[in-house]
Amino acid sequence: MKRTILLPGILFLITAFEVVNYAFGPFLMEQEGKGMMDYLFLAVILIHFLWGITFFIPRRRQLLSSLFRAPEFLFFFTFMLFLFSYIWATNANMDYVQRFAESSGNIFLAPDSTIQRINAVLKFVPYLCVTGFTIIYFRITRKSLLKKAFESSSPGFFSTWSLFITLGTAFLYTLSFPSFLNLTGFAPLAYVCLIPLACVIKEHSYGGGVFYGIVFGVIQSMLSNYWLGTFSLVSLQFSTAYYLVYYLIFMLILVWVLKKSGRLFPLVFASSWVIFDYLRSIGFLGYPWVLVGVSQYQFLPLIQISAVTGIWGVSFIVLLANGAGAQLIEGLINKQKILPNMETSPGFFSRIRKLVTTVSPFRPLVLWAVLFLAVLIGGWISLGIEKTVEPEKTVKVALIQQNTDPRKNDYTEGYAILQKLTNQALLEDPDLIAWSETAFVPNIQRWSKPEYEYSYLGKIVRNLLDYLKSIETWLVTGNDDYTLETGEDGEEIRKDYNAAILFSDTGERMQTYHKIHLVPFTESFPYKKLFPGFYQLLLDFDVYLWEAGDEWVVFQHPEFTFATPICFEDGFPNHIRTFVRKGAEVIMNLSNDFWSLTEVEAKQHYINSVFRAVENRTPLLRSTASGLTCYVDRTGKLRGSLPYYEEAYMIAEVEMPPGKTSLYTRWGDWFPFVMMGIVLAVTVLRLQASRRSSSRLPKSRL
């Protein structure tokens, strides 16, 4: 009893400390006022205080809840806020964010990131320690209570340590991609990283499975996308909320379906996850980042299947391995008869045949291995065929990486760097010069008008236009653009766009592409009339909103045609497919990845885009302000790239093979719809079988 009282005593002491921290923390940080994070911290204090009170409730059920269920929820909630605070602290070192904080009053920051992070540690780590200790202590020392809490005579490993296993799964999933620990990523982890989560879902009730699935989704997304903390002042908040809602909806369905899947668990697990990844890649909220199949970007024989199924086929193979692994572990835990009696088998091959046909836990892995080998053989054959194809022509494209941050408004300096690098590239006689997204910031259409000729920005634009006439080379650049329309009351309405502009070798503006798929909440919010308060909130946090384009522009160069998806548009399979179907011979992504301040985001962006080249059998070029500026051929092989965060240029000699349309380009995202059919069919059949089994049971007599 003393130990039971000791824990809430420690908890109340921590709460008293945190109340003082909440009241005087901003003063110690030289921070005036309180922001949203401070109010969430207050919620953490109150929730933990209420949890401490439950220890004094005499009823046994409430005690079990306080010892076993509540700490896991509290740990997850506190850990999520701690991650957010620690990541977002990077903004404290950015001078333009500090200036905004001083002038707007919407955010409150310490003088630098170190102090901001120390404050995050002082706020949340004490609570993480006490809840983490509670979870571990009572699972080790109070086994009798543990059995009652889980309503089981012998709770298994995966049900006992579910929270930590789930957090470990999120960490392993993150490491399979380029991450803060390794810029390449550990691709083999992708084949096993979801096995622990699948086992947790198998051992838990429906509600428990949903909870741990949400924990995985939110923590994994924050670890993988930590660089969103510097994208804008609201991007990390919205991405966290986005994944919280998406994984809630997904897990409500997935866990229910998996509980009905029986022996077909691996197939249903893989198919359902593919469907989820597909759904989160479409619509206004679409964000197809770190899809599990993308981790295999270096495995060229495997990813060739993308030309038929899209990225979804690669994801299915990886997910199927995880599902089969979970099925095997369940069989081992349940002490099923894994190995047949080999002594009675007359020969080696008979033994192997008996093993394959009678051992159900191993059967999914065997079937997966056969499928995996078949895909690899097909991939090797495809790569061999591609090597024999002679290009019809080769075009030279100069990719310029100026390594500047347009948010600092150093327009003259940025333009000088662009001009210097371009002059160097012109010595190699390229057919086209490509500048990145936001490479040239001043709006060319606006500031080229006669009335602005002698203004600061007008002079820069005039200098640019004269320069374009002098170089006698085609050039494409990212830039702002706008259109003017007349409203219902006759007023003039201006619509701003994130754009790419093509200039001819005489400096004439030829074509303009307006970005179609904008980043939700940080580039676009189409519901401003429906939610005016929320729209105003975005404006208050310095979010610059664009209009979405509606025309699939394919640029016409004398030597070739190309499309310029801007920024994360190259992550959307069907989006790029549409450009290719409309005649683009080259995919040329224009991006500004400087803002992330890390090579991790740039590498993740690159590996997403690699699959667009394979899916459509179309060469891919990437011209970035500072990211991974590179050339990828139609098999997904990296043919050349520039270092991160350096002023540099490269000449990509792009091979243009005879035009062949891939099956994915023809059929599109057919594979996820097949997965939907499989999941629906398996679920219906299992429900029917369950009903038939129930109807055969003898009825009890009254």
The answer to whether residues 406 and 438 touch, using CB atoms and an 8 Å cutoff, is: yes
- For residue 685, CA distances in Å to 104, 263, 320, 541, 598 come to 59, 12, 20, 51, 49
Distance from chain centroid for Cα 457: 37
d(CA 30, CA 24): 10
The pLDDT-based confidence of 356 (bands split at 50, 70, 90) is: very low
Return the closest-CA partner of residue 89 out of 605, 645, 597: 597
The pTM (predicted TM-score) of the whole model is: 0.90
What CA–CA distance (Å, rounded) separates 507 from 610? 32
pLDDT tens per residue across span 433-491: 999 998 999 999 999 999 988 898 999 999 999 999 999 999 999 999 999 888 777 77
Least confident among 63-67, 315-319, 380-384, 673-677: 63-67
Per residue in 189-225, pLDDT (tens digit) is 999 999 999 999 988 889 999 999 999 999 999 999 9
| Chain centroid offset of residue 609 CA | 13
Q: Residue 214 corresponds to which tokens in the numbers above? A: 């949400």
Contact 682, 261 (CB under 8 A): yes
Number of Cβ within 10 Å of residue 334's Cβ equals 9
pLDDT score recorded for residue 235: 83
Q: In the prediction, which pLDDT does 275 show?
A: 96
Interacting residues of 439 by C-beta distance below 8 A, sequence separation 6+: 400, 402, 414, 418, 477, 478, 479, 590, 592, 625
Q: For the segment 85-133, what is each residue's pLDDT rounded down to a tens digit?
A: 899 888 877 777 776 666 666 677 777 888 888 888 988 999 999 899 8
DSSP 80-103: HHHHHHHHHGGGGG-HHHHHHHHH
Residue of 51, 50, 75, 333 lying closest to 211 (CA atoms): 75
Which range (27-31, 201-205, 337-341, 475-479) has the least confidence? 337-341
Highest mean pLDDT among 101-110, 528-537, 584-593: 584-593
Q: Which of 36, 42, 37 is nearest to 23 (CA)?
A: 42
Contact 140, 21 (CB under 8 A): no
Report the percentage of the chain scoring pLDDT > 90: 54
Of the spans 98-107, 160-169, 519-528, 591-600, which averages the highest pLDDT?
A: 160-169
pLDDT per residue over 554-588, tens digit each?
A: 999 999 999 999 999 999 999 999 999 999 999 99
Report the candidate in 448, 498, 504, 499 with the shortest Cα–Cα distance to residue 475: 504
Q: How far apart are CA 127 and CA 73, in angstroms?
A: 12
* pLDDT for the residue 141: 75
Encoding tokens for residue 665?
């380009």
- Express as a percent the part of the chain with pLDDT over 70: 86
Q: Would you say 31 and 118 are in contact if contact means Cβ atoms under 8 Å apart?
A: no
* Distance separating the N- and C-terminal Cα atoms of the chain: 47
Give me the residue label for tokens 């205080």. Answer: 49
Residue 695: per-residue pLDDT: 62
Q: pLDDT grade, residue 642 (50/70/90)? A: very high
Categorize the per-residue pLDDT at 344 as very low, low, confident or very high, splitting at 50, 70 and 90. Answer: very low
CA distance 561 to 230: 35
Q: What CA–CA distances, in Å, run from 564 to 555, 591, 662? A: 8, 10, 20
Residue 269 has pLDDT above 70, yes or no: yes
pLDDT at 305: 97
Which DSSP string corresponds to 241-285? HHHHHHHHHHHHHHHHHHHTTGGGHHHHHHHHHHHHHHHTTSSTT
User: Which has the closest alpha carbon to 591: 601, 581, 582, 576?
Assistant: 601
pLDDT tens for 165-193 read 999 999 999 999 999 999 999 999 999 99
Q: Which pLDDT score is estimated for 17?
A: 72
DSSP for 566-599 reads: BGGGGG-HHHHHHHHHTT-SEEEEEE--GGG-SH
Place of tokens 């540099």: 648
CA distance 146 to 160: 8
In this predicted structure, the answer to whether residue 334 has a pLDDT above a threshold of 80 is no
> What band does 335 get if pLDDT is binned at 50, 70 and 90?
low
Q: Where are the domains of the chain?
A: 1-155, 173-220+244-389+676-691, 393-516+551-657, 517-545
Q: What SS3 class is residue 541?
A: coil
Q: Which residue has the tokens 């885009």?
A: 609
User: Average pLDDT in the 631-657 region?
Assistant: 95
Q: The sheet that has 555-556: what strands, in order across it?
A: 555-556, 561-563, 586-591, 620-624, 630-632, 638-641
Average pLDDT, the chain: 86
Distance separating alpha carbons of residues 338 and 92, to the nearest angstrom: 57
Q: Which two tokens stand for residue 680?
A: 């629906």
The pairing of strands 620-624 and 586-591 is parallel
Question: Would you tell me which CATH number, out of the four given (3.30.70.260, 3.60.110.10, 3.40.640.10, 3.30.700.30), belongs to the domain 393-516+551-657?
Answer: 3.60.110.10
Could you tell me the strand order of the sheet in which 509-514 lies? Answer: 509-514, 492-503, 474-486, 432-434, 393-401, 648-656
- Whether 522 contacts 232, CB under 8 Å: yes
Query: Which tens digit of pLDDT belongs to each residue from 50-97?
Result: 888 877 776 655 566 666 678 899 999 999 999 998 998 888 777 777
> Residues 325, 208, 277, CA angle at the centre, nearest 5°?
55
Say if residues 401 and 438 touch (Cβ distance below 8 Å): no
CB neighbour class for 485 (10 Å; exposed up to 12, middle 13-18, buried from 19): exposed
* Parallel/antiparallel/unpaired status of strands 509-514 and 555-556: unpaired
Q: How far apart are CA 592 and CA 567, in angstroms?
A: 7
Instruction: Give how far the C-alpha of residue 301 lies from the chain's centroid of Cα atoms, to the nearest Å.
Output: 24
What's the confidence (pLDDT) of residue 114? 87
Structure tokens at 435: 């500048």
Cα gap 196→186, rounded to integer Å: 17
439 burial (CB, 10 Å; 0-12 / 13-18 / 19+) is buried
Distance CA 602, CA 596 (A): 8
